[in-house]
Structure formats: C-alpha cells, structure tokens
Amino acid sequence: MLSRFTRPWKFCYNFAMKLLLATNNAHKMREIMEILGSDFPQMQTLGQAGLEIDVVEDGETFQANAIKKAEEVLRISGFPAALADDSGLMVDALNGAPGVYSARYAGEGHNDAQNNAKLMRDMAGIPREERTCRFASAVALARQGKETICTLGTVEGILLNEARGSNGFGYDPYFYYPPFGRSFAELSAEEKNAVSHRKRALEALQEILRRERE
C-alpha cells in the first residue's frame, strides 16, 4: 500500500539516500548496516539524528506495527527514508502467542524474566513434540513518494522447559535451534546474527531493492 504520509513530490532512488532507523539500539544498527549499507551508506539512529519519537505499537501483526512505526517516523522526521522493525516469539501450542505481545507478555512494565516465567506456566505439561515455535521479524522501509516495503523473516525452533545459556535476551534461553543443537542464548552474537529472523527479513528487503534497480 502507499503510505498515507507520503508527500506528493517525485521520489528518486539513489545510493546516497539517508536512512533513519527507528531505534537507538547500536547492535541492531550494526546488523542493518552490514546488510543494507551499500543501499543506504548514510544511516542514523533516532538518537544520532537528535530525535525522540515514540510510536504506539497497537497493530495485530508484526507487519502492521513495523509499517506504522516506519511511516510515522518518516512523517515526523522529514528524512527521505525510515526503517523500522517489530519482532517476537510465536508458539504453535499457544496459537501464535506471545506474538506481538512478546515484550509485554506478563503485562505492561514486566521484564524478560517475568515474561519467560509466564510462558513456562502457560506451556506446563506440553510435550517436546508440541513445543514448536519460531522467532519472527517484520522489517518495514518507508520512503518519500514511494510505496512502503515490508518483509518478514522467521527462524524455526523448539521451546525448552528450562533456560539454557546466558547470552542474548528475551526468550533466547528457551529457544532451542536444532541446526546448531543449542539455545539462542548459548550462541555467540555472530552465530545468532548469521541465522536470525531479522537478518532474513533484511535480506528479503535487500532483494526487493535490488529488483527495483533493474
């Protein structure tokens, strides 16, 4: 769909376009830069741009939240392009929960430990073969005078009964990744980033940008 915040002037794609990231996470910026740096060599976080923009994520899907955030940041900032993402854990036995409520599964203001504790209570007694789950990440690129692009990346796993590992954050200690035989919290940052759901979404976005230039 065409962004409702799109300005009427004609958009021209070029490799020097400035991209505003709807985040202040330095680790996330590095991951995005590694994949999209050739498309957007001038990249800034909200903090680096001197901006403080808080968008309410009230969508029913990761895609809806990512698109809303990217388009509102684009409108408010005046940048030629803005990129946002929304991600979380989806558990099949819970019909896709925590989903878009991953960060607040135990309620507003609760932390990772409390979210994980609630998840373990909700999954009590569920056998391993029914504990399939996936991390999902939606990445949205909003651009002036151009259609908003949104891509989704996923990585499949199995929900553990107890935490394993001390790296990562969120649900990583409970997310077992079969190809590596370890939980995400047992992986190094480099190992996790190589297979992450965000990386897959960003690579899908990069492919769309490549096709646009052909």
Each residue's pLDDT tens digit, 70-95: 999 999 999 999 999 999 999 999 99
| CB distance 88 to 136 below 8 Å | yes
Go through the domains of the chain in sequence order and give each one's CATH number.
Answer: 18-213 (3.90.950.10)
The DSSP code sequence of 123-154 is TTT--GGG-EEEEEEEEEEEETTEEEEEEEEE
Lookup: tokens for 147: 């259609």
Tell me: the pLDDT tens digits for 35-47? 998 889 999 999 9
What burial class does residue 52 get, using C-beta atoms within 10 Å of its C-beta: 0-12 exposed, 13-18 middle, 19+ buried? exposed
| pLDDT above 90 coverage of the chain, percent | 79
What's the whole-number mean pLDDT along residues 94-118?
A: 94
pLDDT band at 16; cut points 50, 70, 90 = low
The DSSP code sequence of 87-123 is EEEEEGGGTT-BGGGGGGTT-TT--HHHHHHHHHHHT
| CB distance 198 to 158 below 8 Å | no
What's the whole-number mean pLDDT along residues 118-132?
A: 97
Per-residue model confidence (pLDDT) at position 208: 95
Mean pLDDT for the chain overall = 90
| pLDDT above 60: residue 182 | yes
Catalytic residue status for 86: yes
Whose CA is closest to 41, among 49, 52, 32? Answer: 32
What's the whole-number mean pLDDT along residues 138-163?
A: 97
User: How far does CA 70 lie from the centroid of its chain?
Assistant: 12
Higher local confidence (pLDDT), 27 or 166: 166
Per-residue model confidence (pLDDT) at position 113: 95
Per-residue model confidence (pLDDT) at position 1: 35
Q: Which of 85, 86, 92, 112 is catalytic?
A: 86
Lookup: tokens for 199: 């990386």
Handedness of CA 109, 114, 116, 120 (dihedral sign): negative
Which residue type does 21 have? L
pLDDT band at 8; cut points 50, 70, 90 = very low
Gap between the Cα atoms of 141 and 205, Å rounded = 8
| CB distance 120 to 93 below 8 Å | no
Whose CA is closest to 159, among 207, 212, 98? Answer: 98
| pLDDT above 70 coverage of the chain, percent | 93
Gap between the Cα atoms of 71 and 148, Å rounded = 8
Gap between the Cα atoms of 183 and 158, Å rounded = 9
